[in-house]
Amino acid sequence: MATVGLLHPGEMGAAVGGCLVSVGHEVLWDPAGRSRASTGRALAAELTGVSGLAELASRCSVIVSVCPPHAALDVARSVASTGFAGVYVDANAVSVATASQVADVVTEGGASYVDGGIIGPPPEIAGHTRLYLSGARAEEVRALFGRSALDARIADGQPFAASAVKMAYAAWTKGTSALLLACRALARGEGVERTLLAEWALSQPALGAQSERAASAAAAKGWRWVAEMEEIAASMAADGLPSGFHHAAADIFDRAAHADMPATPGTPGVNGSSRDSAQGNQPENGTLNAVISALM
């Protein structure tokens, strides 16, 4: 069994740490400066708190970074400053270029680097979430998750293949959510939202509910997805592909993150329905309305 450091126990990170604990590993985390919510998640996942990053680095053979994309380099630098010489797993949604920078930082500090990319929800139920890994020591990291709810897999190809897979996958899943919200905002701006919803019901029956789910997710996590879209845009540009779409998606999520939310986010309107109001052109879902208003 290994001693693994986790940076940091957000919703996804805590679940990843919990997977490691569930198969017998000790997972350490640094509570300094973290929120009460992070502390609660760490306790629920049975993570072990330590007195600082230096202690965590000295006791662990592996450190896993699961943080917002914009923080990936800073987290790597903080670990490198401790002289950590184990295996550093960067499991963040970053481009190959950023992953390469992270690798340079941690290897110059004395550690080995393994690239990672998580696809799916927080891994609480087996079969729903994959952790793709690449690099010279990827197999060692994959073995840590054996028999856990997180399906760790090797991404074949170049050393940063795991990040490349994550970028290509999220380009579709989150990118199309941004596009769907933009389409709905356009229809509202032109006064034809009810007609669009009626057409969707006939020809694209999943899109009405999908747009509502996209709004709820963007309101809650848009702040985190802005940097992810920028990383995808950089990935597209690096391969000579148009990057403008994902720059626009970043703008969509940034606006959604600043939406003026109703008192009870994500709840239906007064009639308990998320369908078109009989007396207006706007649906009664408060979160959706707030997000669409923020986009316009």
Residue where a domain terminates, one of 159, 186, 203: 159
Contacts of residue 163, Cβ cutoff 8 Å, sequence gap at least 6: 90, 94, 95, 96, 98, 99, 115, 116, 117, 134
Residue 270: its pLDDT value, please? 29
Q: Give CA–CA dist 295/67, Å, rounded.
A: 26
Q: Are residues 27 and 120 located together in one domain of the fold? A: yes
Q: Which of 44-53, 165-174, 270-279 has the lowest mean pLDDT?
A: 270-279
Contacts of residue 9, Cβ cutoff 8 Å, sequence gap at least 6: 17, 29, 34, 38, 41, 42, 45, 47
Residue where a domain terminates, one of 159, 187, 209: 159
Overall average pLDDT of the 168-189 stretch: 98
pLDDT digits (tens, 9 = 90+) for 117-129: 999 999 999 999 9
Q: Are residues 148 and 28 located together in one domain of the fold? A: yes
**CATH code, 81:** 3.40.50.720
Overall average pLDDT of the 221-231 stretch: 97
The domain in which residue 175 lies consists of 164-295
Q: Are residues 180 and 128 located together in one domain of the fold? A: no
Residue 97: its pLDDT value, please? 98
Residue 228: its pLDDT value, please? 98
Residue 269: its pLDDT value, please? 35
Q: Is the pLDDT of residue 131 over 80?
A: yes
Q: Are residues 139 and 200 located together in one domain of the fold? A: no
Residue where a domain terminates, one of 144, 159, 174: 159
Q: Are residues 284 and 234 located together in one domain of the fold? A: yes
Q: Are residues 291 and 214 located together in one domain of the fold? A: yes
Overall average pLDDT of the 84-91 stretch: 98
Q: Is the pLDDT of residue 189 over 90?
A: yes
**3 state SS for 70-125:** HHHHHHHHHHHCCCCCCEEEECCCCCHHHHHHHHHHHHHCCCEEEEEEEECCCCCC
Q: Are residues 276 and 220 located together in one domain of the fold? A: yes
Q: Give CA–CA dist 293/257, Å, rounded.
A: 12
Q: Are residues 198 and 241 located together in one domain of the fold? A: yes
- The SS3 of residue 283 is strand
Residue 84: its pLDDT value, please? 98
**With contact defined as beta carbons under 8 Å apart, do 164 and 239 qualify?**
no
Residue 271: its pLDDT value, please? 29
**CATH code, 205:** 1.10.1040
Q: Is the pLDDT of residue 39 over 50?
A: yes
227 — pLDDT class (breaks 50, 70, 90): very high
- Closest Cα to residue 287, out of 218, 201, 196? 218
Which residue, chain included where needed, has tokens 């943080």? 67
Residue 275: its pLDDT value, please? 38
pLDDT digits (tens, 9 = 90+) for 197-218: 999 999 999 999 999 999 999 9
Q: Are residues 132 and 225 located together in one domain of the fold? A: no
Residue 262: its pLDDT value, please? 81
Domain total in the chain: 2
Q: Are residues 149 and 123 located together in one domain of the fold? A: yes
Q: Are residues 181 and 284 located together in one domain of the fold? A: yes
pLDDT digits (tens, 9 = 90+) for 236-292: 999 999 999 999 999 999 999 999 988 654 443 322 333 343 334 444 589 999 999
**With contact defined as beta carbons under 8 Å apart, do 84 and 109 qualify?**
yes
Q: Are residues 153 and 176 located together in one domain of the fold? A: no
